[in-house]
Structure 1
Amino acid sequence: MHLDAGHISQLIALCRAEINRNCDRLSVLDSAIGDGDHGANMRRGLEAVFAEREAIAALPLPAALERIGLVLVMNIGGAAGPLYGTLLMELGRGLAPDADAAGFAATLEAAIAAVARRGRSGPGDKTLLDVLYPVQAAMRKRSAPEAIAACARSAARSTGPMQARRGRAAFLGARSIGHEDPGASSCALLAAAICGYFAEHRVS
């Protein structure tokens, strides 16, 4: 992945803007099956990353990812902070500076496995993992960025019919069915925004 400081800074700004635009929607989704604060929590986390964007962008990509993960852990409340933080910190720690797309996909797979261990979750549990698994599979197949973005959005929607088996939503049992998971939704928003940037700027 060949991302210079300009790319990293722009991606941080893009992700922040995407969460800000969808903050209310994410909180509405969370109100149905959680505490109703996922949007606000994600916005707080992305604002904290944005505040450090110049320092983060000056780092090599692996170190930048690790730093973003740490900032998110420190600023996102609820279960999302540790999960997003684990994903990015493990991705940064495992990513080779000269990794190509295949290397990035392999490192992402290991980072997702770390998220699954941290959350004691797996496929079908109605979490952000239900987006991360299909996104990583699409990356492994070297799908186009537009296809990966569509995959992320579809995967988030697919959490609606699921019954939650982890997190606060699990206490609702069958009442969690029919509501899109807010963590899956925020994950899809971020993944689609990043893929859109890659497609527009032909980043590889």
Structure 2
Amino acid sequence: MPTVAAVSEWLDECTHVFEGRVDELNELDGILGDGDHGTNMYRGFAAARRLDLSECPNANDAMRQVGMSLVGTVGGASGPLFGTLLLRVGATWPDHLTLAGVAASLRQGTNGVMARGKAVRGDKTMVDVLLPALDSLEADARRGADLESAILDAVDAADEARDATAAMVAHRGRSALKSESSVGVVDPGAVSTALILRTGATRIREELRARTAA
């Protein structure tokens, strides 16, 4: 069963990663937006890291606590969107790590983001990373792949999808105000989403290996 400690460790890693990518994300966001996406994401995860998760009864509740914190501390539209992702994932995260369970949980999180942000595939948003990662997980589940290889496939798909946003025209958020100028620029929200998925995959792999070694 996933643990509260695993969520805390994932949160530590995310915070560290965002701290090191603040300038990069701000620079991307500054081309078409307010130029503060990196600052906002780091601030939000740093605030969530200060939460006392020790009294959470399970990993699901810990993820929901992190999601609620992000809603309140990440500025702009990113807070509600990334917060919704974690709230929905936390509400449906499987008690036992299985590929079908992880895919179903990410499906709920992605649906929540799409409903809240009104974005669809091709709008040049975080959805353009979530959906390919989800497609990969669900395809691997259909062919009977193991969870560890499936999550590696999914984060590779997420990274490819992140890079592919550069060729897209923005249709949502502040970037849409300069939609034609958005071509050639990687979406900063897509970068952040890929980072979150990759750190999450790393934590899942370590959980699986710990379970195998026990």
Give the TM-score, by structure 1 length: 0.91
CA distance in 2, matches of 1:200, 1:71: 25
Moved more, 133-142 or 74-83: 133-142
1:145-193: CA deviation from partner (whole Å, max 9, x where unpaired): 3322221111111000100001000010211111000000011111112
Q: Which residue pairs with 2:128 in the alignment?
A: 130
Which residue of the partner structure matches residue 12 of structure 2?
13
Once residues 24 and 155 of structure 2 are traced to their aligned partners in structure 1, the CA distance between those partners, rounded to angstroms, is 19
Count of aligned residue pairs for this structure pair = 202
Q: Is the 8 A contact 1:49 1:68 kept in 2?
A: yes
RMSD: 1.9
In the alignment, is the contact (CA less than 8 A) between 1:15 and 1:46 conserved in 2?
A: yes
2:180 aligned with 1:174, yes or no? yes
- Deviation track 1:23-59 (CA, whole Å, cap 9, x = no partner) reads 110111101111100000001100011101x426743
Cα distance between partner residues in 2 of 1:110 and 1:102: 12
Distance in 2, Cα, partners of 1:173 & 1:100: 40
1:153 aligns with 2:159: yes
Whether the 8 Å contact between 2:4 and 2:53 is mirrored in structure 1 is no
Percent of matched pairs sharing the same residue: 34
Contact 1:6 1:57 in 2 (8 A): no
- 1:90 is aligned with what amino acid? R
The one-letter code sitting in structure 2 at the alignment partner of 1:74 is: G
Contact 1:27 1:39 in 2 (8 A): yes
Greater shift after overlay, 139-148 or 74-83? 139-148
Say if 1:9 and 1:57, in contact at 8 Å, map to a contact too: no
* 1:192 and 2:198 matched: yes
**Could you list the runs of 5+ residues in structure 2 that have no partner in the other structure?**
142-148
Instruction: Tell me, yes or no, if the aligned pair for 2:27 and 2:35 is still in contact at 8 Å.
Output: yes
1:69 shift after superposition: 0.7
CA contact (8 A) 1:18 1:190 kept: no
TM-score, normalising length: structure 2 = 0.87
